[in-house]
């Protein structure tokens, strides 16, 4: 097996493991209180309401702990960076920026809908925004590393 094919296989395995981990932590994890669930459907359909609530609380020394602010705002972005970075390899075809962003949005939307229907989380449009931003950042990281790798390969070829 050549190194390129091996790399694609590793990326696909990492992507599958990543998706399993995300589904576990967002739907099944005891750490985030996912087992017990809620009695009613909980949702936020107004963009930036929760983001602003967390930011205001952090700036004013409010009741929301800094750890919760970090986990909600930064965690939602960081958690989806691998999705954007690995989606091209999972699809096994050329994937542009907007397609990667669309797939990230659809994956995040699916998780939010499952959280709403199973009452183990809150359907939050702000999570969709943050998760999709994370996927976009991940794709930008993939693209940047790819450009560096191509440049390095071309420079190595010229020296030969």
Q: Please tell me the predicted confidence (pLDDT) of residue 15.
A: 95
Helix, strand or coil, per DSSP, at residue 43: strand
Q: Please tell me the predicted confidence (pLDDT) of residue 37.
A: 66
Please state the domain extents for the chain.
3-154
Q: Please tell me the predicted confidence (pLDDT) of residue 107.
A: 97
Q: Please tell me the predicted confidence (pLDDT) of residue 62.
A: 67
Closest CA to 79 of 25, 34, 120, 42: 25
pLDDT in tens, the chain (160 residues): 688 889 889 999 999 999 999 999 888 877 665 556 677 888 999 999 999 888 887 777 766 677 778 888 899 999 999 999 999 888 878 899 999 999 999 999 999 999 999 888 889 999 999 999 999 999 999 999 989 988 888 887 766 5
Q: Please tell me the predicted confidence (pLDDT) of residue 1.
A: 65
Q: Please tell me the predicted confidence (pLDDT) of residue 36.
A: 66
Q: Please tell me the predicted confidence (pLDDT) of residue 81.
A: 97
Q: Please tell me the predicted confidence (pLDDT) of residue 122.
A: 87
CA distance 151 to 144: 11
Q: Which two tokens stand for residue 96?
A: 């542009």
Residues 6+ apart with CB under 8 A from 112: 121, 123, 124, 127, 128
Q: Please tell me the predicted confidence (pLDDT) of residue 77.
A: 96
């Amino acid at each position: 097996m050549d190194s390129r094919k091996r790399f694609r296989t590793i990326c696909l395995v990492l992507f599958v493991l990543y998706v399993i981990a995300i589904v576990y932590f967002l739907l099944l994890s005891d750490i985030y209180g996912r087992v017990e669930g809620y009695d009613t459907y909980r949702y936020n359909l107004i963009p930036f309401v929760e983001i602003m609530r967390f930011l205001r609380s952090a700036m004013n020394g409010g009741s929301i702990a800094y750890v919760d602010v970090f986990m909600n705002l930064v965690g939602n972005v960081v958690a989806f960076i691998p999705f954007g970075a690995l989606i091209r390899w999972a699809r096994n075809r050329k994937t542009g920026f907007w397609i990667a962003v669309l797939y990230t949005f659809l994956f995040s939307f699916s998780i939010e809908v499952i959280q709403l229907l199973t009452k183990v989380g809150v359907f939050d449009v702000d999570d969709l925004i943050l998760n999709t931003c994370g996927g976009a950042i991940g794709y930008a990281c993939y693209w940047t590393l790819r450009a560096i790798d191509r440049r390095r390969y071309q420079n190595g070829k010229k020296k030969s």
